[in-house]
Amino acid sequence: MRRRNFLGVLGGAAAWPLATRAQQTALPVVGILGGTSAASSATPLASFREGLRDAGYIEGQNVVIEAQWAEGQYDRLPLLAAELVHRPAAIIVASSLPSVFAAKAATSTIPIVFMSAGDPVQLGIVASLNRPGGNITGVNFFLSRLPQNDWSC
């Protein structure tokens, strides 16, 4: 009986590292989809990484950042968005209107965060500003001119 116990313990010890590796999960992927190039987006991307670090997300430790750049060739965006969906990304950050539309066409389940200067409701990106609906939300920079008023009281 001792021999069986010994072999059982030995077999369990040999299998333990394999079981441990199987329990490790892949790090979540933050996908960035941009219409420009990595070089032209270096400063905002560095700020984005810093913001993630400030929130406790350290690249390579608990999150992976994968950026896909179209290099000004917007017809490549659908393919790049599909690559992020198949990766699979936990979230997609779309940095231009063409990349928002490509990401929106590629997935209806992965959250998409966008930055836009245009009206996202008028553009058909979201249903409304207070309840965007679906898997898309973002930040809008309304850049229209304000009427000139006399602000003195």
For the segment 41-82, what is each residue's pLDDT rounded down to a tens digit?
A: 999 999 999 999 999 999 999 999 999 999 999 999 999 999
Percent with pLDDT over 90 in the chain: 60
Residue 95 lies in a domain: yes
The answer to whether 5 and 66 have CB atoms below 8 angstroms apart is no
Which CATH number belongs to the domain containing residue 73 in this structure?
3.40.50.2300
For the segment 8-30, what is each residue's pLDDT rounded down to a tens digit?
A: 444 444 445 554 444 457 899 99
Residue 11 lies in a domain: no
The pTM assigned to this predicted structure is: 0.76
Residue 2 lies in a domain: no
Residue 80 lies in a domain: yes
Compute CA distances 39 → 9, 12, 29, 42, 64, whole Å: 55, 51, 21, 5, 19
Residue 118 lies in a domain: yes
Q: Could you give the number of structural domains in the chain?
A: 1
Instruction: Give the range of the structural domain holding residue 41, as residue numbers without chain letter.
Output: 29-140
Residue 65 lies in a domain: yes
Residue 135 lies in a domain: yes
Residue 116 lies in a domain: yes
Count CB-CB contacts under 10 A for residue 152.
4
